[in-house]
Chain A
Amino acid sequence: MPTEILMPALSPTMEEGTLAKWLVEEGDSVAAGDILAEIETDKATMEFEAVDEGTIGKILVEAGSEGVKVNTPIAVLLEEGESADDIETAAAKPEAGTADAGAEEAPKPQAERAAEAPAAAKAAQPAAYAPEPDWPEGTEMKSMTVREALREALAEEMRRDDAVFLMGEEVGEYEGAYKISQGLLDEFGARRVVDTPISEIGFTGLGVGAAWGGLRPVVEFMTFNFSMQAVDHIVNSAAKTLYMSGGQLPCPIVFRGPNGAAARVAAQHSQCYAAWYSHIPGLKVAMPYSASDAKGLLKSAIRDNNPVIFLENEILYGRSFEVPDIDDFTIPFGKARLWREGKDVTIVSFGIGMTYALEAADKLAEEGIEAEVLDLRTLRPMDTGAIIASVQKTNRLVTVEEGFPQNSVGNHITSVVMEQAFDWLDAPVINLCGKDVPMPYAANLEKLALVTTDEVVEAVKKVTYR
């Protein structure tokens, strides 16, 4: 029977890709290992090889097709003795149930959630209410992924100031392990887009020295997991020297990259550093959720004269949001964003945790519970004023984050609320976190280790005694 060749998942977070180019034609015979096509994933352009030998019977998806979902049949391979006439029957089946078949063949719990999220997020966007809007009413908006927003922020800031440069592993010729720096080497050249060797402590220290020397480095960690190699320079050299020098030596540097759990990459590659870095006086910590915040906060981070930890998220990179079409759009640090107004409970989150917070708020609304959802956006400085104000209104609080539970960001928020709004609380605060375990690899266990929308719904019901 003819075999279908399916659109491959070439990265842990890939849900769809562009079939850039076919390197074979119908009628070509291929051997295992032959390159069939070039496929652009969310991170890179990859070559896709044949697994079996046979003849290309039919090409189902044309070169240049974008948004081809993983596991969509893209071609049909004929075995010896088969002819193109055998194809009709074979190709008919997947057309009926492509998506389902795909989901079963490659279980991807994260991807499922990722696919649903943009719609949920849009629905939850605050209609008219916002204490201080981030942009004037009536501003023209454009849809943009978080990835594009980050790239734009970098490019704009590099255009604006020659002292700004980007360094890190694979940021230049490879255009970023997660394609954030696409096109930057072309535009700015190797002087300002610096590919480093795999030397985290070395290039982090070097970046700090360059900042002291008058530059404004943006240091990319391929993922924040690897920043642990360099934590000494981040904490001891970057964060403390202004103090130790009696105010003489500021350190304008941004450390950025994907943080937290990606998908199916297990314990060493799945960890959230929000609580770690927000512990340190002298550092600022941003953790955007939406594309507009990613752009506005990154631009602010680059202009800041302090070391900024900028925590991105691989799963959010590909999500689209509305971004204001304003020249030089920035978001100040220390100002939470009210995504949804409500009177029954306050849900505070940041980064990817917002996905669950907003989804839960939608579900709760169906049951008549009105949740107020706050996105902290920056953890240091933290807009505790917004949290207190909201708790004084709703009298109940649930915090949502992906990091480990002990000494979590939620723990800190709870302590602030205890001190400043104890009398307003009608229920104990619940801190939802990732589970207190190293991230497992197995899909089902991974799902269990992460915080979920259902857990948020359940926690809200608990604090509202429903």
Chain B
Amino acid sequence: MAARKAAEKPNISGDELTLYYRQMLLIRRFEEKAGQLYGMGLIGGFCHLYIGQEAVVVGMEAAAKEGDKHITSYRDHGHMLVAGMDPKGVMAELTGREGGYSRGKGGSMHMFSLDKHFYGGHGIVGAQVPLGAGLAFADRYKGNDNVTFTYFGDGAANQGQVYEAYNMANLWNLPVVFVIENNQYAMGTSTKRSSKSPNLWERGAAYGIKGEMVDGMDVLAVKAAAEKAVAACRAGEGPYILEAMTYRYRGHSMSDPAKYRTREEVQKMREERDAIERVRELLITGGHASDDDLKAIDKEIKAVVNEAADFARESPEPALEELWTDIYA
């Protein structure tokens, strides 16, 4: 785990903290619900939950502005919720229904929203990295100051195309922040078993790309690093790499033998490092919110998630003609 930044008192408003708390909680409750629906057989196939990693996307996107683009892997539900996509549409895609973002044709791993500048949702490990560089290429070509947030895992960091993308991104000064979500495992392979060098972000140095490691369990630390990275991109200084050290509490996908790590390891992270608990504490100790305030937020979010689940169950399956649509534009 990255050394935590000295625990300075964050100079941050209650409103802002509350926003991050809400966003992270929404992701967690949404994912818990998705897990339940999966258990009930309403969601099929692969379903990768983001529980434990919430601070990464929430902190990163705190530095985004309208027009910025977002792209990630199959572990994408949290990214979509923070990008402002409707939880109902996301959940209904998980259940493969007409009301889903891809009208049931993409599923958990492949969802998109042009409206919210969310470009997927990609099932091929590492593929999103050059794709993200390409989105940034388009913005540089058009001459605007948008930035593309390109997320990928520690496992994906071993794909060759990541480095081809790094090279071109820096060669052409592309406004892209590469966010390595290092949750320390790629399925059952710990980073120790896949890479001799512990710091994945440092590989960017070979291409002259600036980067740093950040505590991905601390939303404020992520946000601070993201602001720096995004500012560099907007200023035309080219790409930036952030390696967020994080942890997933659940299995890789829904069926995970969990033999590659101990229960204690997971338990320890949850108890000592949980990102949501951390913000909750800051809200309480900083006098920004009372227990009751937080309970009210919990309740509100539960309602949103329940509504999404109801919608996802009630939305009909796609019409049979849908088989043959959207193949060609």
Which residues of chain A have a CB within 8 Å of any CB of chain B?
A: 165, 191, 194, 196-197, 199, 201-215, 232-233, 236-237, 241-252, 281-282, 284, 305-306
- Which of B71, B110, B130, B161 interacts with A244 by CB under 8 Å? B110
Chain A residues with CB below 8 A from B136, complex form: 209, 213
Whole-angstrom distance between the alpha carbons of A233 and B123 in the complex? Answer: 12
Cross-interface CB contact of B102 among A203, A207, A246, A306, cutoff 8 Å? A246
Question: CA separation between A249 and B121, bound complex, in Å?
Answer: 12
Given contacts A209-B71, A244-B102, list 11 more A-B pairs with CB under 8 A. Answer: A205-B127, A209-B130, A213-B69, A213-B135, A213-B138, A232-B127, A237-B124, A242-B326, A243-B327, A244-B106, A249-B114
Q: Are B135 and A205 in contact (CB under 8 A)?
A: no
Q: How far is the CA of A230 from the CA of B319 in the complex (A)?
A: 34
Give min CB distance, A214 to chain B, whole Å.
5
A210 contacts across to B, CB distance below 8 A: 134-135, 137-138, 141
* Chain B residues whose CB sits within 8 angstroms of the CB of A246 once the complex forms: 100-106, 112, 326
What is the CA–CA distance of A232 and B100 in the complex, to the nearest angstrom?
26
Can you list 8 contacts pairing A with B, beta carbon distance less than 8 Å?
Answer: A197-B164, A203-B168, A209-B137, A215-B137, A237-B122, A242-B326, A245-B106, A306-B328
Alpha-carbon distance between A248 and B302 when the two chains are bound, in angstroms: 30
Which 8 pairs across A and B sit closest by C-beta, in order of nearness? A209-B134, A202-B164, A213-B138, A205-B130, A250-B329, A199-B164, A246-B102, A246-B103
Across the two chains, which residue of chain B brings its CB closest to A240?
B110
* Distance, CA A284 to CA B131, complexed state (A): 21
Given contacts A209-B133, A236-B124, A236-B127, contact A202 B102 (CB under 8 A): no
Give the chain B neighbours of A281 by CB distance below 8 A.
327
How far is the CB of B106 from the nearest CB of chain A, in Å? 4
Q: Is B303 an interface residue (CB 8 A)?
A: no
Measured in the bound complex, the distance between the Cα atoms of B113 and A191 in whole Å is: 28
Of B104, B111, B121, B134, most buried by chain A (CB within 10 Å of CB) is B134
Query: Pick the contact of A209 from B131, B142, B327 — CB < 8 Å?
Result: B131
Q: What 0/1 readout, one digit per residue, does chain B (256-299) give for beta carbons within 8 Å of chain A?
A: 00000000000000000000000000000000000000000000
Interface string of B118-152 (1 = CB under 8 A from A): 01111110010111111111110110000000000
* Chain A residues with CB below 8 A from B165, complex form: 202, 205-206
Q: Is the CB of A212 within 8 A of B135?
A: yes
**CB-based contact B110/A245 at 8 Å:** yes
Known: A246-B101, A248-B112. A202 touches B161 (CB 8 A): yes
| B171: Cβ under 8 A from any A Cβ | yes
Task: Please give, as numbers and ranges, the residues of chain A lying within 8 Å of B327 by CB-CB distance.
Answer: 242-243, 281-282
Of all chain B residues, which has the CB nearest A247? B326
Contact B112 A197 (CB under 8 A): no
Kindly state the separation between the CA atoms of A197 and B110 in the bound complex, as whole angstroms.
Answer: 30
**Distance (Å) between the CB of B230 and the closest chain A CB?**
18
* B167–A212 CB distance below 8 A: no
CA distance A237 to B137 in the complex (A): 17
Please tell me which one of the listed residues B103, B112, B134 contacts residue A206 in the complex, with CB atoms under 8 A apart: B134
Which B residues fall within an 8 A CB radius of A? 69, 71, 100-106, 110-114, 119-124, 127, 129-139, 141-142, 160-161, 163-165, 167-168, 171-172, 325-329
| Cα–Cα distance between A243 and B103 once the two chains are bound (Å) | 10
Out of B110, B141, B168, name the residue touching A199 (CB < 8 Å): B168
Q: Which residue of B lies closest to A284 (CB)?
A: B328
- Asked if A199 contacts B134 (CB within 8 A), the reply is no
Q: In the assembled complex, how far is the CB of residue B252 from the closest CB belonging to chain A, in whole angstroms?
A: 20
Kindly list chain A residues whose C-beta atoms are within 8 Å of the C-beta of B110.
241, 244-245
User: Is there an interface contact between A241 and B135, defined as CB atoms closer than 8 Å?
Assistant: no
Contact residues in B for A199 (Cβ distance below 8 Å): 164, 167-168
Asked if residues B141 and A248 are in contact (CB atoms below 8 Å), the reply is no
With the chains together, A251 CA to B328 CA distance in Å? 9
- Chain B residues with Cβ under 8 A from A191's Cβ? 141
* Closest B residue by C-beta to A167: B137
Would you call B329 and A205 a contact (CB within 8 A)? Answer: no
| Least CB separation from B159: chain A residue | A201
The reply to whether B102 and A245 form a contact with Cβ atoms under 8 Å apart is: yes
A123 to B119, CA, bound (A): 52
Q: Across the interface, name the chain A residue whose C-beta is closest to B104.
A: A246
Q: How far is the CA of A161 from the CA of B71 in the complex (A)?
A: 27
Residue of A nearest to B160 (CB): A201
Q: Roughly how many angstroms separate A243 CA and B324 CA in the complex, as a whole number? A: 9
Q: Report chain B residues within 8 Å CB of A202.
A: 130, 133, 161, 163-165, 167-168
The answer to whether B105 and A244 have CB atoms under 8 Å apart is: yes
Which B residues lie within 8 Å of A244 (CB)?
Answer: 102, 105-106, 110, 112, 120-121
Question: Given the complex, which residues of A lie within 8 Å of B123, measured CB to CB?
Answer: 236
Q: How far is the CA of A59 from the CA of B134 in the complex (A)?
A: 53
CB neighbours (8 Å) of A243 from chain B are: 105, 326-327
Given contacts A197-B168, A197-B171, A247-B326, contact A207 B112 (CB under 8 A): no
Complex CA–CA separation, A242 to B106 (angstroms) = 10
Taking a contact as CB atoms under 8 Å apart, the answer to whether B138 and A207 are in contact is no
Whether B134 pairs with A212 at a CB distance below 8 angstroms is yes
Residues of B within 8 A of A214 (CB): 138, 142
Q: B160 — which chain A residues lie within 8 A by C-beta?
A: 201
Q: What is the CA–CA distance of A305 and B328 in the complex, to the nearest angstrom?
A: 8
Q: How far is the CB of A73 from chain B (nearest CB, A)?
A: 47
Q: Which residues of chain B are near A212, meaning CB under 8 Å?
A: 119, 131, 134-135, 138
Q: B168 touching A196 by the CB < 8 A rule?
A: yes
